[in-house]
Amino acid sequence: MSAVLALMSSLVWGSSDFLGGLRAKVLPAIAVVAWSQVFGLGAMTIVVLAGHPPRGTAWIPYAVAAGVAGAIALVSFYAALATGTMGVVAPISAMGAAVPVLLGVAQGDQPAPLVWAGMAVAVLGTVLASGPELRRGVHVRPVLLAVVAAIGFGLVLFFIDRGARSSLVSTLWGMRLTSAAAFAVIGLSRRSAGGVRRQDVPWLAAIGLSDLSANALFAAASAQGLVSVTSVLGSLYPVVTILLARVVLGERLRVIQNIGVVLSLAGVVAIATG
């Protein structure tokens, strides 16, 4: 059952990323993230009020840090998806899985050799996948934004892990409260709702709620099964984004880029396994 839940989390995460990138083609990326975070906050608030009130205060600094890092990462990610090749952007952003490992090393952790091999393979895959994009010049920005997103996502994983040692629900709620509050301040200062129209609201709600649902599915999978297995299955979400981009948008990559994407994903899986 845990494997099914982990795969479902990948499916929902990948679909949410694709929808976010698609909406960012017609709306500013910051507006897509802001509104989706508001809907996610609403859902998390219901969970908190339903029986998971905040416990203690140890989770607060990690929740705030995760909220800031997550907001920057998502804006960068959606902007990259909207302006670049999704099949290249998605696997680059997934390399964020290496960030908690490196931060752990800085604190004295000793990762298994498989993890180091996975990071090396993922970096090689990223170079192969993004190389043709960089040589064209015009596509440098999406690749750089994807790298920023990867670092941000990795920091979010690290901060959530630390905050969850006190309270996972409180950390996730505080994370969304932080990002939603920050975007509210930006919106009020600009006196703008980001150009969001009534017909955009259902899409933005779907993005925010699906992202939250993916988190819940992955947490449930980790609780029921081996973290090593669920982490691998949960890290496959870029595959969903890539397939949707190919089917819906007709994206096609060069042979060398396809090899790079496969290597990047294999590296992420190796990191998660280790």
Distance, CA of 96 to CA of 92 (rounded, Å): 8
Distance, CA of 61 to CA of 214 (rounded, Å): 24
Residues of the chain with pLDDT below 70 are 130-139, 222-223, 225-232, 274
Phi/psi zone of residue 194: left (φ > 0), alpha (ψ -120 to 50 degrees), beta?
A: left
DSSP 179-229: HHHHHHHHHHHHT--TT--GGGHHHHHHHHHHHHHHHHHHHHHHHHS-HHH
Looking at residue 174, what is its pLDDT? Answer: 92
| pTM confidence score | 0.86
Segments forming the whole domain that contains residue 12: 2-273
Convert the pLDDT of each residue in 177-196 to its tens digit. 999 999 999 888 887 777 88
Residues 6+ apart with CB under 8 A from 241: 14, 15, 17, 18, 21, 81, 86, 90
Looking at residue 61, what is its pLDDT? Answer: 95
Number of Cβ within 10 Å of residue 257's Cβ equals 21
Looking at residue 223, what is its pLDDT? Answer: 67
Distance, CA of 141 to CA of 159 (rounded, Å): 27
Looking at residue 227, what is its pLDDT? Answer: 59
Is the Cβ–Cβ distance between 209 and 235 less than 8 Å?
Answer: no
Looking at residue 20, what is its pLDDT? Answer: 92
Looking at residue 217, what is its pLDDT? Answer: 84
**Domain count within the chain:** 1
